Structures are given as C-alpha cells and as structure tokens.
Amino acid sequence: MTERGGERSTGRPRRVLVTGGAGFIGSHLVASLLERGDDVTIVDDLSTGDARNIPDGALFIRDTVSGAVGRSEIGRETFDQVYHLAASVGVDLVMRDPVRAIETNIEQTAALLRFLAETGSGPVLIASSSEVYGKPTRRVFSEDDDVVYGPTTITRWSYACTKAIDEYLALGHHHAGTIACVVVRLFNTVGPGQVGRYGMVLPRFVEAALRGEPLRVFGDGTQTRCFCDVRDVVRALPRLLETPACLGRVFNLGSDRPISILELAEMVRRVLGSSSEVVLVPYSEAYPEGYEDLRHRRPDLARVREAIRFEPLIGLEQTIRDIADAIGRGGRVTAAERAEM
C-alpha cells in the first residue's frame, strides 16, 4: 500500500474508486484526482493496463472488478465517487478474443453495480464508447439517436452490444434509485502513454514513424474520425460526475473535428519529420475473419457543451509530439504532460 491523497477542506479526503486505473485513460484520471487531494483506490487486473502507469499516491488492487469487490480491502468500503473504466479495449483484442471481451465488459460492470448498490456508494461514471451507435445513417452522432448493429456473424458488433448493455444496466440502477450514474460515450481518446498494440491507430502510426517503418492505413484511408486528447477528456469526467443535472443522462465526449485516416498518417509524418511511407492495407488482410468499418464517426457535442461548457483545448499536432516523446521514454508519461492544458 502506498501513501494516499490529501484531504479536502471538509476535513476528510474524497474516497474515489477507479476501475481500469492502470490503463491509458484511467492512469491520467487517477493522476488528476490525486492532484486535487482525493483518496484513490485502483482496481485493475493488468490485462491491458500497466502497473508502471499508476501514479504514486494511489492504493492499487490487482484483480478483476468482480474479484476485488469480494476482497476485504474493498468489500467494506463506501466510495464517494466511482469511475468505471475497466473494459476490454481495442479492435484487435475484440476481433481476436470476442468471448473474453463480451464477458469482461458485461460481467465486470454488473458486479461493480451490484457492489455499489449494496454499499450505498456512488455516484458512478460509466465509460462507454462511440461504438454503441453501431452503423447509423447520419454522419454526426447524437445521444438520443436510434442504434443499428450488423449481424451477429460480424464479430466487431459484439463490442458495441456489450457497451450498450453496460449503459442499460447503469441507467436501470439509476432509474430504480439504487445508484446515481452518468454515462459517457468516448470518441477516439488519444495522448501520451497510449500504445498501439491493441489496434489504436494514432500511437500505431507514431510508433511506426519513429522506427522509419511504413504507416499502414486500413481500407482506402478516406474514412474519418475525431481525435480528442486524453487530458481534455480527463478534465471533463469529474465535472460530469459532479454536476447534478448530468446524473441519469448520456453524454458524448471527444472532439468534433474530423480528419481522414490518410490525412492523419500524413500529419504524423510531417510533425515528426519521418521519411516513412504510407501504405494502404485492405481490411481483408488486416482482419482475415472479416471486418465491417464505419465511414465516418463524429459526435454531436451540444449536450456536453451545454452541461459543462466543454471544449477540447489541446491540438492534434501537440498530441502527436507528446505521444512520440512518451514513446521515446519507454512509454512513461511526465507530470507536465499529464497536466498540460
């Protein structure tokens, strides 16, 4: 056990639980919570997280969420706030091991929500995904849009379904009065400390550019995405959880500035001064078992702007430079990089 965070002005530190706190987004969030003086407990089984990401000052329990809530260290705790970020992440992982992804996303969320209801903890922020939208006909995704998924024979839609079930579970508890919650659908969060081994496109490009290897763009590269720096995302999460009017609601969170994947690859080459070539790779080669992609993915941010006046502050070129700097240090993220706004 390591030294805990400081106290609030009320005399007692806020007790916060972060599941998935050794992961990319989770570790950035933990650092910001510790900085404001919270008493933070992390639960992470390190299946995709890394213990080296964990900032000093947090209590770390290496376990699954379902395992941890039955252990004495956490089983008697009542938490003032909970951030549920633990999940199977990355298209590579979902495509390679769909059973694990499905069971992890649904079973761990259900176990956490039961624990919070039994202990009277909360509120809880559920980190969901833009994948929940499935394959809509609109180019801009709004929180109240209907969702349409592909057939069950296409593996990639299994992840979307699991995250949708997580949302149903959390909102069901909220409406039943057992747990207060807010659901946040994240859109392509990127930044220092992120790695490309689970299919995340931007760190994969940066890693290749730094090694002088080809930047592999799947499909024709004209598909567009919106990328938001993790430090902008982490700045917004506590504000959403702590704003009473946000509870019981769903929010998109990210950037609404689209860029094609081909343009992204060229930006990485230019920003890093890389001589790497850009090559197009058919989806059939990237994912032999079949893959169905979305042409465009852009969030409607009207709701989150109205609720907390959210606006991304860190530009994509700065994010690319910071990812490259962190990779050069073996993936370690400095305090200055975590705090930069």
* Residues designated as active site: 159
Contact 2, 56 (CB under 8 A): yes
The Cα-based distances of 48 to 13, 20, 39, 179, 229 in angstroms read: 29, 9, 24, 28, 20
Measured N-to-C along each axis, helices 261-272 and 316-328 cross at an angle, to the nearest 10 degrees, of 60
- Sign for the CA dihedral angle at 64, 66, 72, 74 comes to positive
> In whole angstroms, what separates CA 78 from the centre of its chain?
24
Distance CA(162)–CA(166), nearest Å, equals: 6
Rounded (5°) CA angle 340-270-230: 25
Tokens of 169: 């579970």
Tokens of 147: 């969702």
The Cα-based distances of 79 to 121, 143, 243, 258 in angstroms read: 5, 28, 17, 38
Tokens of 312: 């991304």
Distance CA(200)–CA(90), nearest Å, equals: 6
Distance CA(106)–CA(87), nearest Å, equals: 9
